[in-house]
């Protein structure tokens, strides 16, 4: 219903715009009449003007009472431009020396209305307008001598206005549309990049804490419905401060990035890994029980064995401590995180380089 109202307002605006263009044309004709270059009495001209504007009022009433919605073309684009070009040709028919100027000025005013026509309607509009103009020339030739070279030039200009005016304007609109489409693609890419920056860790390019919490909310909603489980695995790289102290922060940053790559290649596509801060990461194992979570953690720990921290000391290795907790139905997600964190602390206290599972508490 709301869409119909919007479309009807747009249609009413277009009728009003085209009607206003014809009104401007009639004002121009009135000026021409006033200076004696139009073969009409004032009353006759007023009658033509009233008839012209009455047509647009009729179209406006069709839209006002929504009768246009019963038509095949509720926009009524073709009737509007046919009505407009009819009165441009008819009024210019009675103009003397200034007829070409009045005719082409009127066409310039309604050319915008014709750009909404489809190909078939455009052909009808062009043929109708040209036929009407030829008919006007025929009747003028019966009553007065025409300067045919000049008339042929005007006729060609009128034909070009009928054909090229809408085509050029449509071509211009297509160019603008293509430019806007390109800008929209650039904007979309920029927004996507911003969204990525919003959820990705700047250094390692894995997800950040914000994304992890958002994912946990989704996983909790699935698990609370029943028949679904997920497991959290906190990972802390052991004695990572020693890496920075021994090799420098650049090597340490590269080690974090390499660990992130190993983790992403180890876990499944439905799982996710997020950097929670420093050398601590959270792996969310979707649809995974605690038992399978232990297997995934051990596989991740095994992947660290092939990781080279420094090419100057290729035999130097780092290990990781891990704490695992399976989500319990209807549990506050922070409690699950706390249980996994306590399990991680247990792994650190008992010698590191091991996987610990959260207790019953």
CATH number at residue 268: 3.30.70.270
d(Cα 327, Cα 229) in Å, to the nearest integer? Answer: 7
Same domain, 239 and 282: yes
Question: Is residue 73 situated within a structural domain?
Answer: yes
Same domain, 43 and 166: yes
Nearest by Cα to 60 from 24, 17, 15:
15
Nearest by Cα to 337 from 295, 287, 274:
274
What pLDDT does 282 receive?
97
Question: Is residue 190 situated within a structural domain?
Answer: no
Structural domain tally of the chain? 2
What are the backbone dihedrals phi and psi of residue 321, each rounded to the nearest 5 degrees, phi first? -100, 145
> pLDDT confidence of 314, banded at 50, 70, 90?
confident
Same domain, 156 and 266: no
Same domain, 241 and 346: yes
Q: What is the DSSP letter of 275?
A: E
Question: Is residue 343 situated within a structural domain?
Answer: yes
Contact 110, 85 (CB under 8 A): yes
Question: Is residue 189 situated within a structural domain?
Answer: no
Two structure tokens written together for 179: 């430019």
Contact 212, 276 (CB under 8 A): yes
Same domain, 171 and 251: no
Same domain, 65 and 151: yes
Same domain, 241 and 317: yes
Helix (H) or strand (E) holding 138: helix 119-143
Note the pLDDT tens digit of each residue in 134-147.
898 888 888 776 77
Q: Give the mean model confidence (pLDDT) for residues 73-94.
A: 89
Among the listed ranges 7-11, 123-127, 165-169, which one has the minimum average pLDDT value? 165-169
Note the pLDDT tens digit of each residue in 5-19.
888 898 899 889 888
Say what the pTM is.
Answer: 0.55
Same domain, 162 and 282: no
Same domain, 92 and 241: no
CA angle 41/47/48 to nearest 5° reads 90
d(Cα 81, Cα 236) in Å, to the nearest integer? Answer: 74
Same domain, 148 and 230: no
Out of 132, 149, 184, a domain closes at 184
d(Cα 130, Cα 162) in Å, to the nearest integer? Answer: 8
Question: Is residue 198 situated within a structural domain?
Answer: no
Helix axis angle, 99-114 to 119-143, nearest 10°: 170
Same domain, 157 and 228: no
Question: Is residue 291 situated within a structural domain?
Answer: yes
Question: Is residue 349 situated within a structural domain?
Answer: yes
Same domain, 112 and 168: yes
d(Cα 10, Cα 77) in Å, to the nearest integer? Answer: 12
Q: What is the DSSP letter of 73?
A: S
Note the Cα 161 to chain centre separation in Å: 34
Contact 76, 12 (CB under 8 A): no
Question: Is residue 192 situated within a structural domain?
Answer: no
Query: Which domain, by its residues, includes 33?
Result: 2-184
């Amino acid at each position: 219903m709301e869409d119909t109202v919007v479309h009807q307002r747009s249609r009413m605006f277009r009728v009003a715009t085209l009607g206003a263009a014809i009104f401007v044309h009639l004002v121009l004709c009135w000026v021409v009449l006033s200076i004696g270059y139009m073969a009409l009495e004032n009353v006759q001209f007023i009658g033509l003007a009233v008839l012209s504007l009455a047509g647009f009022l009729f179209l406006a009433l069709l839209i006002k009472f929504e009768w246009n919605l019963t038509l095949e073309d509720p926009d009524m684009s073709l009737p509007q431009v046919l009505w407009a070009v009819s009165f441009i040709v008819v009024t210019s028919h009675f103009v003397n020396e200034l007829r070409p100027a009045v005719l082409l000025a009127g066409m310039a005013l309604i050319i915008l209305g014709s750009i909404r026509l489809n190909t078939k309607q455009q052909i009808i509009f062009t043929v109708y307008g040209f036929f009407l103009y030829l008919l006007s020339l025929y009747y003028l030739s019966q009553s007065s001598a025409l300067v045919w070279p000049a008339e042929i030039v005007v006729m060609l200009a009128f034909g070009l206005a009928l054909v090229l005016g809408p085509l050029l304007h449509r071509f211009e609109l297509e160019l603008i549309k293509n430019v806007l489409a390109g800008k929209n693609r650039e904007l979309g890419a920029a927004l996507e990049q911003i969204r990525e920056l919003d959820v990705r860790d700047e250094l390692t390019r894995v997800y950040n804490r914000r994304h992890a919490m958002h994912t946990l909310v989704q996983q909790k909603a699935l698990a609370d419905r029943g028949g679904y489980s997920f497991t959290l695995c906190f990972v802390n790289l052991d004695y990572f401060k020693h890496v920075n102290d021994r090799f420098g922060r650049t090597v340490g940053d590269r080690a974090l990035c390499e660990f992130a790559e190993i983790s992403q290649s180890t876990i499944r596509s439905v799982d996710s890994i997020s950097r929670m801060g420093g050398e601590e990461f959270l792996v969310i194992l979707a649809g995974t029980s605690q038992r399978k979570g232990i297997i995934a953690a051990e596989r991740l720990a095994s992947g660290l064995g092939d990781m080279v921290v420094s090419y100057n000391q290729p035999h130097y290795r780092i290990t990781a401590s891990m704490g695992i907790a399976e989500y319990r139905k209807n549990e506050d997600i922070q409690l699950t995180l706390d249980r996994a964190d306590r399990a991680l602390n247990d792994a650190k206290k008992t010698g590191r380089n091991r996987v610990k599972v959260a207790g019953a508490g």
